[in-house]
Amino acid sequence: MSEAPGFSSMFDPAEDEDTDTEDPIETIEARSEEISKQAYAKGFVEGQKVGEEAQNEKLKETLKALRMVLAELDAAKNELYQDAEREAVELGLRIARKIVCHEVSVDHATIFRVLREAFKKVGDQKEIHVKIHPSDIQVINDAGFDVSGLSTGKGLVVLEPGDGICRGECVIETDFGDIDARMESQLQTVEESLRALLHEGTRAR
């Protein structure tokens, strides 16, 4: 019995070999390689981003530390300036004391100048007590100097030796308060003024 025409050709193995088919294994490998490349690229970008963030964070910490060091240096510089200024003031006052003491020791007429300046601050008083060094009382008496002539009023002026008063100094006692013309008091006033100026200069920096 003969076969129907074309039937065998429908199942011809040779024809099946010519048909294009994809290999599942090759497809999986290709897809896997593509995924690996994408994962690598993504990992590289993310890794680069993390690295940059870490580097930026480290830079921020370094800058912060640098600012702290600069602030400490600035504070140390200001402290050195203040110490130098204080030492300069103290040195100047010590020199001034030595100069004044020397002038008084060689110039006995210093007491007259001091009294004239002190009496300018005295108003019209009924009684004025002037305390000075005993040696200066002797200088005034020997010179025949009338201290009452320094007063603007007609009150009684009494010269008295004063405790703790050096030559060339005086303390004038009145009913309205004392006028301290001692060297130490005057230098202390100068010192306070200088320190106030230094304090203002330090705040301005």
The answer on 133 and 114 residing in a single domain is yes
Structural domain boundaries, residue 68: 25-106
pTM here? 0.50
Please give the full DSSP string across 157-192, using - where no structure is assigned. EEEEE-TT--TT-EEEEETTEEEE--HHHHHHHHHH
Dihedral-angle region of residue 164 (phi above 0 means left; psi in -120 to 50 means alpha; beta otherwise)? left
For residue 130, pLDDT over 90 is answered with yes
The pLDDT tens digits for 156-193 are 999 999 988 888 999 999 888 899 988 888 788 877 88
Q: Is residue 15 part of a domain?
A: no
Residue 18 in domain:
no
Asked if residue 177 belongs to a domain, the reply is yes
Banded pLDDT at 43 (limits 50, 70, 90): low
Question: What are 92-129's pLDDT values in tens digits?
Answer: 777 877 777 777 777 888 899 999 999 998 888 889 99
Does 176 lie in the same domain as 118?
A: yes
Query: Is the domain of 188 the same as that of 123?
Result: yes
How many domains does the structure of the chain reveal?
2
Least confident of 4-13, 90-99, 114-123, 137-146: 4-13
- Same domain as 177, residue 143: yes
Q: Which of 142, 84, 156 is nearest to 111 (CA)?
A: 142
Would 4 be classed as within a structural domain? no
Matching residue, tokens 């108003």: 123
Cβ neighbourhood burial of 76 (10 Å; 0-12, 13-18, 19+): exposed
What is the pLDDT, as a whole number, of residue 183?
A: 82
